[in-house]
Amino acid sequence: MKVLRGDYRSWDPLPYPSAVTIGVYDGVHLGHQYVLNSLAASGLPVVVVTFGNHPVEVIDREAAPDLLTSVERRIELLAEFGVSTAAVVDFDDDFRRLAAEEFVEKLLVATFRAKRVAVGRGFRFGYKQLGDIALMRTLGERHHYEVEDVEIFEEGVPVRSTVIRALLREGDAAAAARLLGRPHRLPGTVVPGDQRGRQIGFPTANLATPAGLLVPGSGVYATRIRLDGVTHKAVVNIGNRPTFGGSDSVVEAHVLDFSEDLYGRVLEVDFVFRLRSERKFSGIDELVAAISDDIAAARQLLGGG
């Protein structure tokens, strides 16, 4: 897959017509996948115009959401779905001020020679979001491309990144996974902790997660962890550890049947099920019993062993 980055004005035009879709594509969820498959069925090379940063960061930084995927993870997923070109635009103030007609003419037509364009229902584009689906179709008649607007539902729920983020903030990892088409993945680097888990017989890896990526809501989760290409079962706790009087929220992973030193290593956590909410226990014995139950439940839910 070809990856274009930076200022779109520096990109060379494609030497062939293409099918283009535009959007943040955060999560590359089932709705995104439907669009990609539909465009691929046209027989044209598929181009995804996405953004290196969320457009809301430029328009209203305080309102910018934590993302489901980093740009690099997004590119990796797009490649898995057979995308020919991922065009990662720098969404800055200059790009924000690009008029809707200029967006179509300079990017979709002149650069990507679009013959088919697919976007989500309600898609807006151009300065002050003055461009809509109707304008996209009008410009399509002028520049000879077809427009498809898409709205996908799964079990009656609209498949949108905003919906998936809300589910994860509520801790509903399983529902989020259904809309994503896979579990939500959160990378983290193992950093020193307070060693309390080790002291009670359940050593944990404290994870420092990248700023701007969505951390699911507090609770205890059955997860799968990828480490150096190998997948391990794990129980992950997110929260402030009320039994120990904690105040800052942490992400702690107890990797099952694993004893290697993890400090400084990067783990990729796939959130499969939420086992329970975080709670304050009366003492260490009650906490140990609950962790033992969590591990047993995780083993059963994640598949034996």
13 and 121 fall within a common domain: yes
109 and 209 fall within a common domain: no
Q: Is residue 99 part of a domain?
A: yes
255, β-bridge pairs: 234
Q: How distant is the alpha carbon of residue 49 from its chain centre?
A: 16
Closest CA to 177 of 212, 227, 230, 223: 223
Give the CATH number for residue 79. 3.40.50.620
Domain that holds residue 53: 2-151
193 and 145 fall within a common domain: no
Domain count within the chain:
2
DSSP 195-255: -HHHHTT---EEEEPPTTBPPPPSEEEEEEEEETTEEEEEEEEEE--GGGT--S-EEEEEE
Instruction: Kindly give the confidence (pLDDT) of every residue in the chain, 305 residues in length, as a single tens digit, with 9 standing for 90 and above.
Output: 999 998 889 999 999 999 999 999 999 999 999 999 999 999 999 999 999 887 777 666 677 799 999 999 999 999 999 999 999 998 888 888 899 999 999 999 999 999 999 998 888 888 888 899 999 999 999 999 999 988 888 888 889 999 999 999 999 999 999 999 999 999 999 998 766 656 566 888 999 999 999 999 999 999 999 999 999 999 999 997 666 656 578 999 999 999 888 999 999 999 999 999 988 776 788 888 889 999 999 999 998 54
Q: How far is residue 174 from each of residues 77, 182, 272, measured CA to CA in Å? A: 20, 9, 6
217, β-bridge pairs: none
11 and 118 fall within a common domain: yes
Q: Is residue 281 part of a domain?
A: yes
Residue 131 DSSP one-character state: B
Give the CATH number for residue 235. 2.40.30.30
